[in-house]
Amino acid sequence: MTLTSGVVLAAGSDGNQGVQKGITLQLAPSGRSVTQGTSASYNVVVQPSGGFVGNVSLTISGLPAGATASFSPAVVAAGSGSASSNLDVSTSSATPLGNYSLSLKGSSGTLEAAVVVVSLTVSAGQHAPFTISGGPTGLLAPGNVVPINLQLTNPGNSSLSVTGLTVSIAGVTRTAQAVANNLPCNPSDYLIAQFSGSYPLSTPPGNSSLLGNGIPANQWPQIKMLNSSLNQDGCKGATLQLSYSGTGQGN
Protein backbone atom coordinates (compact mmCIF):
# COMPACT_ATOMS: atom_id res chain seq x y z
CA MET A 1 0.00 0.00 0.00
CA THR A 2 1.18 3.54 -0.74
CA LEU A 3 -0.42 6.55 0.87
CA THR A 4 -0.16 10.18 1.84
CA SER A 5 -1.16 11.68 5.18
CA GLY A 6 -3.84 14.34 5.40
CA VAL A 7 -4.82 17.13 7.76
CA VAL A 8 -7.82 19.45 8.09
CA LEU A 9 -7.56 22.52 10.31
CA ALA A 10 -10.41 24.35 12.02
CA ALA A 11 -10.51 27.64 13.92
CA GLY A 12 -10.12 27.31 17.68
CA SER A 13 -13.31 27.46 19.69
CA ASP A 14 -11.87 30.22 21.90
CA GLY A 15 -11.86 32.60 18.92
CA ASN A 16 -8.11 33.27 19.04
CA GLN A 17 -6.70 33.87 15.61
CA GLY A 18 -3.91 31.49 14.62
CA VAL A 19 -5.09 28.78 17.02
CA GLN A 20 -6.31 25.93 14.79
CA LYS A 21 -7.40 22.45 15.58
CA GLY A 22 -6.83 19.53 13.25
CA ILE A 23 -6.42 15.79 12.73
CA THR A 24 -3.62 14.12 10.81
CA LEU A 25 -3.83 10.47 9.71
CA GLN A 26 -0.80 8.31 9.04
CA LEU A 27 -0.64 4.66 8.05
CA ALA A 28 2.34 2.29 8.24
CA PRO A 29 3.88 0.47 6.50
CA SER A 30 3.79 2.68 3.45
CA GLY A 31 3.87 -0.20 0.92
CA ARG A 32 1.97 -3.45 1.00
CA SER A 33 0.55 -6.09 -1.35
CA VAL A 34 -1.40 -9.24 -0.63
CA THR A 35 -2.13 -12.51 -2.39
CA GLN A 36 -5.66 -13.83 -2.76
CA GLY A 37 -6.97 -15.34 0.46
CA THR A 38 -4.45 -13.62 2.75
CA SER A 39 -4.58 -10.53 4.93
CA ALA A 40 -2.30 -7.75 6.15
CA SER A 41 -2.27 -5.54 9.23
CA TYR A 42 -1.42 -1.85 9.38
CA ASN A 43 -1.02 0.73 12.11
CA VAL A 44 -3.14 3.87 11.83
CA VAL A 45 -1.91 6.87 13.81
CA VAL A 46 -4.26 9.76 14.58
CA GLN A 47 -2.28 12.89 15.45
CA PRO A 48 -4.23 15.83 16.95
CA SER A 49 -3.00 19.40 16.57
CA GLY A 50 -3.97 22.85 17.81
CA GLY A 51 -5.35 21.52 21.08
CA PHE A 52 -7.85 19.14 19.50
CA VAL A 53 -9.47 16.72 21.96
CA GLY A 54 -12.16 14.22 20.96
CA ASN A 55 -13.11 10.85 19.54
CA VAL A 56 -12.12 10.13 15.95
CA SER A 57 -14.08 7.58 13.90
CA LEU A 58 -12.13 5.64 11.25
CA THR A 59 -13.63 4.27 8.04
CA ILE A 60 -12.31 2.88 4.77
CA SER A 61 -14.02 2.51 1.39
CA GLY A 62 -13.21 1.20 -2.07
CA LEU A 63 -12.44 -2.39 -1.09
CA PRO A 64 -12.53 -4.91 -3.95
CA ALA A 65 -15.07 -7.72 -4.05
CA GLY A 66 -14.45 -10.44 -1.49
CA ALA A 67 -12.28 -8.20 0.72
CA THR A 68 -13.11 -6.90 4.18
CA ALA A 69 -11.49 -4.40 6.54
CA SER A 70 -11.73 -3.89 10.28
CA PHE A 71 -10.28 -1.36 12.72
CA SER A 72 -9.35 -2.19 16.29
CA PRO A 73 -10.64 0.09 17.67
CA ALA A 74 -12.83 1.82 15.08
CA VAL A 75 -13.08 4.91 17.29
CA VAL A 76 -9.95 6.33 18.95
CA ALA A 77 -9.69 9.00 21.64
CA ALA A 78 -7.25 11.73 20.59
CA GLY A 79 -6.05 14.23 23.17
CA SER A 80 -2.68 15.37 24.44
CA GLY A 81 -0.84 12.92 22.20
CA SER A 82 -1.38 10.64 19.24
CA ALA A 83 -3.73 7.67 19.29
CA SER A 84 -3.49 4.51 17.20
CA SER A 85 -5.62 1.75 15.77
CA ASN A 86 -4.86 -1.50 13.93
CA LEU A 87 -6.30 -1.91 10.44
CA ASP A 88 -6.73 -5.47 9.12
CA VAL A 89 -7.45 -5.94 5.41
CA SER A 90 -8.48 -9.47 4.45
CA THR A 91 -9.02 -10.87 0.97
CA SER A 92 -10.61 -14.13 -0.17
CA SER A 93 -9.68 -16.58 -2.89
CA ALA A 94 -12.41 -14.92 -4.99
CA THR A 95 -11.01 -11.37 -4.71
CA PRO A 96 -10.20 -10.20 -8.27
CA LEU A 97 -6.54 -9.55 -9.09
CA GLY A 98 -5.54 -5.94 -9.58
CA ASN A 99 -4.61 -2.63 -8.03
CA TYR A 100 -7.26 -0.78 -6.01
CA SER A 101 -7.47 2.73 -4.58
CA LEU A 102 -8.94 2.73 -1.08
CA SER A 103 -9.97 5.78 0.91
CA LEU A 104 -9.10 6.03 4.61
CA LYS A 105 -11.07 8.65 6.52
CA GLY A 106 -11.11 10.03 10.04
CA SER A 107 -13.84 12.26 11.45
CA SER A 108 -14.93 13.84 14.70
CA GLY A 109 -18.28 15.58 14.44
CA THR A 110 -18.00 18.12 11.64
CA LEU A 111 -14.20 17.94 11.65
CA GLU A 112 -12.71 15.55 9.10
CA ALA A 113 -9.14 14.64 8.28
CA ALA A 114 -8.13 14.81 4.65
CA VAL A 115 -8.67 11.48 2.90
CA VAL A 116 -5.66 9.17 2.84
CA VAL A 117 -5.49 7.38 -0.51
CA VAL A 118 -4.39 3.74 -0.24
CA SER A 119 -3.28 1.56 -3.16
CA LEU A 120 -3.99 -2.13 -2.51
CA THR A 121 -2.45 -4.65 -4.90
CA VAL A 122 -3.95 -8.15 -5.00
CA SER A 123 -1.93 -10.84 -6.75
CA ALA A 124 -2.41 -14.55 -7.32
CA GLY A 125 -1.26 -16.80 -4.53
CA GLN A 126 0.21 -20.27 -4.73
CA HIS A 127 -2.75 -22.47 -3.81
CA ALA A 128 -2.38 -26.13 -3.00
CA PRO A 129 -5.09 -28.24 -4.64
CA PHE A 130 -8.26 -29.40 -2.93
CA THR A 131 -7.99 -33.21 -2.75
CA ILE A 132 -10.37 -36.15 -2.31
CA SER A 133 -9.48 -39.67 -1.22
CA GLY A 134 -10.99 -42.63 0.58
CA GLY A 135 -11.97 -46.24 0.18
CA PRO A 136 -14.63 -48.79 1.10
CA THR A 137 -15.25 -49.08 4.84
CA GLY A 138 -15.57 -52.88 4.65
CA LEU A 139 -14.73 -55.95 2.56
CA LEU A 140 -16.42 -56.45 -0.78
CA ALA A 141 -18.19 -59.68 -1.60
CA PRO A 142 -20.73 -60.63 -4.28
CA GLY A 143 -23.99 -58.78 -3.61
CA ASN A 144 -22.58 -56.63 -0.78
CA VAL A 145 -22.90 -52.82 -0.72
CA VAL A 146 -20.17 -50.93 1.17
CA PRO A 147 -20.13 -47.14 1.81
CA ILE A 148 -17.10 -44.96 1.04
CA ASN A 149 -16.22 -42.35 3.67
CA LEU A 150 -14.58 -39.72 1.47
CA GLN A 151 -11.64 -37.84 2.98
CA LEU A 152 -11.52 -34.15 2.01
CA THR A 153 -8.39 -32.01 2.28
CA ASN A 154 -8.91 -28.24 2.13
CA PRO A 155 -5.51 -26.47 2.04
CA GLY A 156 -6.97 -22.96 2.40
CA ASN A 157 -7.72 -20.88 5.46
CA SER A 158 -11.48 -20.68 4.90
CA SER A 159 -14.25 -23.16 4.17
CA LEU A 160 -14.91 -24.47 0.67
CA SER A 161 -18.32 -25.07 -0.86
CA VAL A 162 -17.91 -28.49 -2.48
CA THR A 163 -20.18 -29.79 -5.24
CA GLY A 164 -20.13 -32.56 -7.85
CA LEU A 165 -18.44 -35.32 -5.86
CA THR A 166 -17.93 -38.43 -7.99
CA VAL A 167 -16.11 -41.73 -7.51
CA SER A 168 -15.12 -44.12 -10.29
CA ILE A 169 -13.07 -47.29 -10.64
CA ALA A 170 -9.82 -46.60 -12.48
CA GLY A 171 -8.55 -50.17 -12.39
CA VAL A 172 -8.42 -53.53 -10.62
CA THR A 173 -5.24 -55.28 -9.44
CA ARG A 174 -5.73 -59.04 -9.05
CA THR A 175 -3.71 -61.27 -6.76
CA ALA A 176 -0.75 -63.14 -8.22
CA GLN A 177 -2.69 -66.39 -7.87
CA ALA A 178 -5.64 -65.01 -9.85
CA VAL A 179 -3.29 -63.82 -12.58
CA ALA A 180 -1.49 -67.18 -12.71
CA ASN A 181 -4.79 -69.03 -13.06
CA ASN A 182 -6.14 -66.54 -15.60
CA LEU A 183 -9.10 -65.64 -13.40
CA PRO A 184 -10.57 -62.30 -14.56
CA CYS A 185 -11.81 -59.37 -12.47
CA ASN A 186 -12.79 -56.08 -14.09
CA PRO A 187 -14.35 -52.72 -13.13
CA SER A 188 -17.56 -54.08 -14.70
CA ASP A 189 -17.81 -56.49 -11.74
CA TYR A 190 -18.63 -53.49 -9.52
CA LEU A 191 -21.24 -50.77 -9.40
CA ILE A 192 -20.88 -47.34 -7.74
CA ALA A 193 -23.73 -45.16 -6.49
CA GLN A 194 -22.63 -41.53 -6.08
CA PHE A 195 -22.95 -39.18 -3.09
CA SER A 196 -26.64 -38.46 -2.46
CA GLY A 197 -26.37 -35.71 0.17
CA SER A 198 -27.21 -32.06 -0.27
CA TYR A 199 -24.93 -29.59 -2.06
CA PRO A 200 -23.00 -27.46 -1.46
CA LEU A 201 -21.06 -29.39 1.15
CA SER A 202 -19.20 -27.00 3.45
CA THR A 203 -15.65 -28.28 3.96
CA PRO A 204 -13.57 -26.60 6.71
CA PRO A 205 -9.83 -25.87 6.40
CA GLY A 206 -7.58 -28.90 6.93
CA ASN A 207 -8.55 -32.55 6.81
CA SER A 208 -12.14 -33.69 7.20
CA SER A 209 -14.44 -36.48 6.04
CA LEU A 210 -18.06 -37.12 5.21
CA LEU A 211 -18.41 -38.76 8.62
CA GLY A 212 -16.74 -35.79 10.33
CA ASN A 213 -19.08 -33.41 8.49
CA GLY A 214 -22.07 -35.22 9.94
CA ILE A 215 -23.15 -36.86 6.68
CA PRO A 216 -24.98 -40.17 7.37
CA ALA A 217 -23.45 -43.28 5.80
CA ASN A 218 -26.53 -43.93 3.64
CA GLN A 219 -25.71 -40.71 1.73
CA TRP A 220 -22.04 -41.56 1.12
CA PRO A 221 -20.94 -42.99 -2.21
CA GLN A 222 -21.66 -46.74 -2.25
CA ILE A 223 -19.72 -49.50 -4.00
CA LYS A 224 -21.33 -52.85 -4.74
CA MET A 225 -19.75 -56.03 -6.03
CA LEU A 226 -22.21 -57.56 -8.49
CA ASN A 227 -23.41 -61.09 -7.85
CA SER A 228 -22.71 -62.49 -11.28
CA SER A 229 -23.39 -65.99 -12.60
CA LEU A 230 -19.83 -65.97 -13.96
CA ASN A 231 -16.84 -67.21 -11.98
CA GLN A 232 -15.72 -64.26 -9.80
CA ASP A 233 -12.83 -65.97 -8.03
CA GLY A 234 -10.48 -63.52 -9.75
CA CYS A 235 -11.94 -60.73 -7.56
CA LYS A 236 -10.99 -62.46 -4.31
CA GLY A 237 -8.31 -60.31 -2.63
CA ALA A 238 -8.28 -57.85 -5.54
CA THR A 239 -7.37 -54.21 -4.96
CA LEU A 240 -9.45 -51.46 -6.55
CA GLN A 241 -7.94 -48.19 -7.77
CA LEU A 242 -10.49 -45.45 -7.28
CA SER A 243 -10.49 -41.98 -8.84
CA TYR A 244 -12.31 -38.95 -7.50
CA SER A 245 -13.54 -35.61 -8.74
CA GLY A 246 -15.34 -32.61 -7.30
CA THR A 247 -15.42 -28.83 -7.33
CA GLY A 248 -14.45 -26.63 -4.39
CA GLN A 249 -15.40 -22.94 -4.40
CA GLY A 250 -13.78 -20.63 -1.85
CA ASN A 251 -16.00 -18.57 0.46
pLDDT tens per residue across span 106-117: 999 888 888 888
pLDDT of residue 26: 86
Rounded to whole angstroms, what are the CA distances from 119 to 14, 46, 62, 100, 244?
39, 20, 10, 5, 42
| CA separation for the pair 193, 226 (Å, rounded) | 13
pLDDT digits (tens, 9 = 90+) for 60-89: 999 999 999 999 999 999 887 889 999 999
pLDDT of residue 126: 59
Give the mean pLDDT of the chain.
85
pLDDT of residue 9: 36
pLDDT digits (tens, 9 = 90+) for 167-226: 999 999 999 999 999 999 999 999 999 999 999 999 988 999 999 999 999 999 999 999
pLDDT digits (tens, 9 = 90+) for 21-63: 888 888 887 767 888 888 888 889 998 988 889 999 999 999 9
Helix, strand, or coil (residue 219): helix
The pTM of the full predicted model, rounded to 2 decimals, is 0.52
Say yes or no to pLDDT of 3 above 50. no
Helices and strands (H and E) in the chain: how many: 1, 20
pLDDT of residue 11: 35
| β-pairing verdict for 75-78 and 54-61 | antiparallel
pLDDT of residue 230: 83
Look at 119 and 12; give whichever has higher pLDDT. 119
Q: Is the dihedral angle over the CA atoms 56, 59, 60, 66 positive or is it negative?
A: positive
pLDDT digits (tens, 9 = 90+) for 221-244: 999 999 988 888 999 999 999 999
User: Chain centroid to CA 95: how far?
Assistant: 11
Contact 69, 60 (CB under 8 A): yes
